[in-house]
Homo-oligomer: A and B are copies of this chain.
Amino acid sequence: MCPKENAAQIQSQIRALQDTIYVIGGKWKLPIIHSICKGNKRFTDIQHSIPGITKRMLSRSLKELEDNKLIVRNVDPDFTATIEYEFTQYALEYGKLILDMIRWGENHHKVITGKGTKR
């Protein structure tokens, strides 16, 4: 598991890993990703699909996801300034990793609660 690289390279790997976690970390990023995944594209639609989220947190989280190029914000000025959020191709490539993380998390839950098959 532990690669045999020099110290500087490993520090950079740890940072890479922390970045990976940061991008989808926090309280709302994953529910938002899921909501867009389900077909919601507009700010208010996304907000209503996630119980408990405020405009403030939705706005901030969308901006961070956009900064990380996982979603794009499309403004259509012709049709009364409709704004839509969509996944980037890049985000779709992230999908497999997310599914792996889900699988690990589900198994982990069983392990911790003592109903697991492993350990």
Q: Which residues of A contact B (CB under 8 A)?
A: 1-2, 10, 12-21, 23-25, 30-31, 34, 37-38, 67-69, 87-90, 92-95, 97-102, 104-106, 108-109, 111-112, 118-119
Contacts and interface: CB of A to CB of B under 8 A. Distances in A.
Contacts of A87: 1
Chain A contact residues, majority secondary structure = helix
Nearest to A119: B90
Contacts of A31: 14
What's the number of copies of this chain in the assembled complex? 2
Contacts of A104: 20, 94, 97
Given A1-B98, A95-B1, A100-B97, A119 B20 contact: no
A6 B54 CA distance: 24
A34 B109 CA distance: 23
A73 B92 CA distance: 40
B119 A17 contact: no
A72 to B, nearest CB: 10
